[in-house]
């Protein structure tokens, strides 16, 4: 409100400064002094003729008046010029009034119209930190993040700042920093299902896609606070899948889809995950004699990391945890090179490479799987469906 009052005062001052010269035009002298001096000369002549003035007195008066007449003639325009100037001044009066009106309209309405057309009068105010996080020309995101980090270093209790910074860390792949920021946001801003689920997501990202015991604890707390929190429910389903409980994962994700609006942004992603565990659960059945199908001997699914393995990973360093996960994936790849008939193992291997970020290895594993399963078109289709669902095509 104060800003608008300042703008109004500045506009009024500009209007006054523009209108003052138009309302006070320069005045010209009328030339009446010349007429007075000429009358005085005629009066001197009349007084001389009537005997009121002597010759010497009349001559002295005539010289003085003539001197004044000459001085006035040199400094004033002629009577005709003065009359013409006065007439011109009268004729320009209406032009001055039109100009004054135009100035009034332009200075009062012009800036306001331009601001409404080009400005953002309805844009709400933003805190300084939010403005720092907005794009600024060619400045890199790393520079902006450094500025925000410096601001938070001076004000570490700014809960809003940590909440804004955490998702930026996630996009930059700085997952450990994202975990720290999520924890600070949770401590400073209070506990909500969304903040608990966000912290769990950051923990999963820091663990290379593994839902650790710590992360699962956060998702359990989020679900306790809000049973309908979609992020918590999805990751709880992922935790079940990683524990080898495909039926449990399918139940969680199926319930999530049932409770979600059809246009929710995550629906298609959950559908693909549900299809993945559903296909993994529909493995070959034993034959009528109690034996197994001859095409599936030694094709039991490769074991997934147990809950104990995941919990143990929490006591490891980042490099140790990554090496442990890669070791399990390498053992699975070695087994499949010896026995490529296990379609479930191939599916798990492709997904594991995607979780680790090795997309080229994931594509190579899919091609190896299709070669190993060349005589089983239904299972090759499952591999192709997984490749398509994970976006590995091309």
Domain ranges of the chain: 12-118, 128-190, 316-389
Q: What is the pLDDT of residues 193-203, one digit of tens each?
A: 999 999 999 99
Residues in the chain: 394
Please give the pLDDT value at position 300. 38
Please give the pLDDT value at position 114. 65
345 and 368 Cβ atoms separated by less than 8 Å: no
Q: Reply yes or no on domain 128-190 having CATH 1.20.950.
A: no
The torsion angle over the Cα atoms of residues 34, 36, 41 and 44, rounded to 10 degrees, is -170
Mean of pLDDT over the chain: 74
Per-residue pLDDT band at 223 (split at 50, 70, 90): very high
pTM: 0.43
89 and 25 Cβ atoms separated by less than 8 Å: yes
What would the mean pLDDT of 3-19 be, rounded to a whole number? 69
Q: Reply yes or no on domain 316-389 having CATH 1.25.40.
A: yes
Q: How far apart are the two ends of the chain, measured CA to CA in Å?
A: 58
3-state secondary structure the chain: CHHHHHHHHHHHHHHHHHHHHHHCCCCCCCCHHHHHHHHHHHHHHHHHHCCCCCHHHHHHHHHHHHHHHHHHHHHCCCHHHHHHHHHHHHHCHHHHHHHHHHHHHHHHHHHHHHHHHHCCCCCCCCCHHHHHHCCCCCCCHHHHHHHHHHHHHHCCCCHHHHHHHHHHHHHHCCHHHHHHHHHHHHHHHCCCHHHHHHHHHHHHHHCCCCCCHHHHHHHHHHHHHCCCCHHHHHHHHHHHHHCCCHHHHHHHHHHHHHHCCCCCCCHHHHHHHHHHHHHHHCCCCCCCCCCCCHHHCCCCCCCCCCHHHHHHHCCCCHHHHHHHHHHHHHHHHHHHHHCCCCHHHHHHHHHHHHHHCCHHHHHHHHHHHHHHCCCCHHHHHHHHHHHHHCCCCC
Q: What percentage of the chain exceeds 70 in pLDDT?
A: 64
Closest CA to 232 of 198, 257, 209: 198
Please give the pLDDT value at position 24. 58
Same fold flag, 128-190 and 316-389: yes
What would the mean pLDDT of 213-238 be, rounded to a whole number? 93
Q: What is the pLDDT of residues 227-282, one digit of tens each?
A: 999 999 999 999 888 877 888 899 999 999 999 998 888 888 888 888 888 776 65
């Amino acid at each position: 409100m104060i800003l608008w009052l300042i703008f109004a005062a500045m506009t009024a001052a500009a209007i006054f400064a523009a209108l003052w010269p138009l309302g006070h035009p320069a005045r010209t002298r009328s030339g009446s002094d010349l007429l007075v001096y000429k009358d005085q000369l005629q009066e001197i002549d009349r007084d001389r003729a009537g005997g009121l003035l002597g010759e010497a007195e009349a001559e002295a008066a005539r010289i003085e008046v003539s001197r004044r007449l000459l001085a006035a003639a040199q400094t004033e325009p002629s009577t005709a010029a003065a009359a013409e100037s006065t007439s011109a001044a009268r004729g320009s009066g209406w032009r001055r009034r039109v100009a004054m009106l135009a100035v009034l309209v332009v200075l009062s309405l012009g800036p306001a119209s331009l601001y409404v057309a080009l400005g953002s009068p309805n844009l709400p105010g933003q805190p300084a930190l939010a403005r720092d996080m907005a794009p600024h020309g060619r400045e890199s995101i790393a520079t902006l993040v450094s500025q925000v980090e410096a601001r938070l270093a001076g004000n570490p209790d700014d809960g809003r700042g940590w909440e804004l910074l955490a998702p930026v860390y996630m996009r930059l792949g700085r997952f450990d920093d994202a975990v720290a920021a999520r924890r600070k946001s949770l401590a400073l801003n209070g506990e909500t299902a969304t903040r608990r689920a966000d912290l769990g997501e950051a923990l999963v990202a820091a663990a290379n896609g593994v839902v650790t015991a710590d992360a699962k604890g956060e998702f359990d707390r989020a679900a306790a606070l809000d049973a309908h929190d979609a992020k918590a429910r999805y990751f709880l389903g992922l935790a079940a899948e990683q524990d080898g409980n495909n039926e449990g994962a399918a139940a969680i994700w199926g319930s999530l889809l049932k409770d979600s609006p059809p246009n929710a942004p995550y629906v298609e992603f959950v559908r693909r995950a549900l299809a993945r565990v559903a296909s993994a659960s529909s493995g070959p059945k034993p034959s009528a004699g109690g034996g197994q199908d001859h095409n599936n001997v030694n094709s039991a699914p490769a074991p997934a990391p147990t809950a104990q393995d995941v919990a143990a990973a929490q006591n490891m360093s980042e490099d140790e945890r990554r090496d442990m996960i890669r070791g399990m994936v390498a053992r699975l790849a070695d087994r499949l090179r010896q026995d490529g008939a296990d379609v479930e193992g191939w599916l798990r291997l492709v997904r594991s490479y995607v979780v680790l970020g090795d997309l080229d290895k994931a594509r190579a594993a899919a091609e190896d799987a299709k070669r190993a399963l060349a005589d089983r078109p239904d299972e090759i289709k499952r591999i192709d469906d997984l490749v398509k669902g994970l976006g590995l095509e091309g």
